[in-house]
Amino acid sequence: MDDFVSNYVNRLDSKGRVSIPAPYRQILAREGTEGLFCSPSMDRAAVDAGGHGLRKAIDEYLEPFDVFTEEREILATALLGESESLKIDKDGRVVLSEKIKAHTGITDSVVFVGHGYKFQIWQPEKYEAFKVEAAKEAIALRKSLSARRQALRQAGEGA
Amino acid sequence: MDDFVSNYVNRLDSKGRVSIPAPYRQILAREGTEGLFCSPSMDRAAVDAGGHGLRKAIDEYLEPFDVFTEEREILATALLGESESLKIDKDGRVVLSEKIKAHTGITDSVVFVGHGYKFQIWQPEKYEAFKVEAAKEAIALRKSLSARRQALRQAGEGA
DNA sequence: CATAATATCCCATGGTATCCCATTAAGGGT
DNA sequence: ACCCTTAATGGGATACCATGGGATATTATG
């Protein structure tokens, strides 16, 4: 049950390094990954990051699409072609590439957000904005989900 | 079938630590959890806490949503990204994060409220206020529920 | 091939979390 | 009523972590 949870804000130093939060490092170490796999989010100013768990999720996502098909090429380009593997130094730090900084708007501070099998990297202010939006939408989603379940139960009783 | 029941009030010490009630500790130990999983309630000044049981509930809630979808990202952010896993020390205590204290209004005292598979963490006065409100609503709910059951029974007899 | 530029290693430091032990209080059994 | 166990709490000592920066290795460039 080792999953990326919680969120942490760390600072970039003058050399552009940032510490991966210690709890995340331990998970990555247990996964046996060297290098932090980073894949820019398609629709947000965030980067998906992780180890084998994330790689596996991507592979399984691509799997149903036949190789050499248009869809496969497009998805592979977005999910793998634009990704990179950042080197983790002896002190558990990485240097963010220019591409990641441009995509996220990160300049001097990073927030790491746990998503279970992966985590995301954000510029703190952008994450704050997304978070309040996500909180609202999560409540709406929950309502519609429980309404649907309720309807299913009653249909079941009626039968 | 060990469930979190009853409620307990404990104090924070000068370092911000608070003892998890011993009966809860035993349940967590049997679940084989290390770390207390804490998830801020979406609509109340409370925090849901527990071990594997709670994590499992959240994972099952996320499971039907495909990875890399909008809904999944939103729910993962709200349910995992904003949660944390608090370390339980050798004496069965945790330190509440600033985020939890801010969300709940806790300053020097905590009440632990059993909810079966999980328990909640409240600031004592806020919990008292919520409790009387919940008691009223429970009566109203019971009425509407039993009316609904009655109707269903009669419909069944009629058929 | 030389030299600059960059990346990685290695060690130091301050702040905080965790360990470990002591004290106090509250049952439980005899 | 008394001992014995268990729980909650307090506090000093220790370990860990994020961060900074000098030293060394690696890569790029003229």
Query: Average of pLDDT values for A43-66?
Result: 94
A73-115 confidence digits (pLDDT tens)? 999 888 888 899 999 999 999 999 999 999 999 999 999 999 9
Q: What is the CATH number of the domain that holds A49?
A: 3.40.1550.20
Q: How far is A9 from chain B (nearest CA, A)?
A: 12
Any alpha helices (H) in B43-123, and if so which ranges?
A: 52-62, 70-76, 98-104
Taking the C-alpha atoms of residue B128 and residue B106, their distance in angstroms, rounded to an integer, is: 13
Domain-located, residue A67:
yes
Find all residues with CB under 8 Å of B57, minimum gap 6, and list them: B117, B118
> Which tokens sit at A148?
């649907």
Instruction: Give the number of domains in chain B.
Output: 1
Q: Is the CB of A18 under 7 A from strand D?
A: yes
| Chain B neighbors of A134, CB-CB under 8 A | 73-74, 77-78
B7-41 pLDDT, tens digit per residue, is: 999 999 999 999 999 999 999 999 988 899 999 99
Residue in the structure block whose two tokens are 């998805």: A75
Q: What percent of chain B has pLDDT over 90?
A: 83
Determine, yes or no, domain membership for B146.
no
Q: Is residue A92 part of a domain?
A: yes
pLDDT tens digits for B86-122?
999 999 999 999 999 999 999 999 999 999 999 999 9
Q: Please tell me whether any atom of strand D lies within 7 Å of the Cβ of B13.
A: yes
Q: What distance, in Å, lies between the first and last C-alpha atoms of chain A?
A: 40
Residue B159: inside a domain, yes or no? no
Task: Say if residues A9 and A124 touch (Cβ distance below 8 Å).
Answer: yes
Domain membership of residue A59 (yes or no) is yes
pLDDT at A148: 85
Say if residues B4 and B115 touch (Cβ distance below 8 Å). Answer: yes
Mean pLDDT of chain B: 93
Residue A20 maps to a domain: yes
Backbone dihedral angles phi then psi of residue A14, each to the nearest 5 degrees:
-65, -20
Is the pLDDT score of B159 beyond 60? no
Of A23, A134, A157, the CB nearest to B78: A134
A5 with B52: Cβ contact below 8 A: no
Q: Is the minimum distance from the CB of A95 to strand C below 7 Å? A: yes
Give residues 8-47 of chain A lying near strand C (Cβ < 7 A): 15-17
Do B82 and A138 meet the contact criterion of CB atoms below 8 Å apart?
A: no
Give the helix ranges, DSSP H, for B63-123. 70-76, 98-104
C1’ D17 / CA A20, Å: 11
Residue B86's nearest nucleotide, by CA–C1', is: C17
Domain residues for A34?
7-124
Residue of B80, B85, B152 lying closest to A116 (CB–CB): B80
Residue A140 has φ and ψ, to the nearest 5°, of: -60, -45
Interatomic CA distance for residues A143 and B43, integer angstroms: 12
Query: pLDDT > 90: what percent of chain A?
Result: 79
Residue A1 lies in a domain: no
Average pLDDT (A42-46) is 94
In whole angstroms, give the CA distance from residue A18 to residue A94: 6
Q: Which of A128, A107, A130 is nearest to A41 (CA)?
A: A130
**A10 near A112, Cβ under 8 Å?**
yes
Interface predicted TM-score (ipTM) = 0.90
Q: Nucleic chain D: which protein residues 89-148 of A have CB below 7 A from it?
A: 91-93
Q: Evaluate whether B5 touches B116 at the Cβ level (below 8 Å).
A: yes
Looking from the CA of A51 toward its CB, the CA atoms found within 13 Å total: 18
Residue B21 CB lies within 7 Å of the nucleic strand D: yes
Confidence band for B80, pLDDT divided at 50, 70 and 90: very high
In a domain, A159, yes or no: no
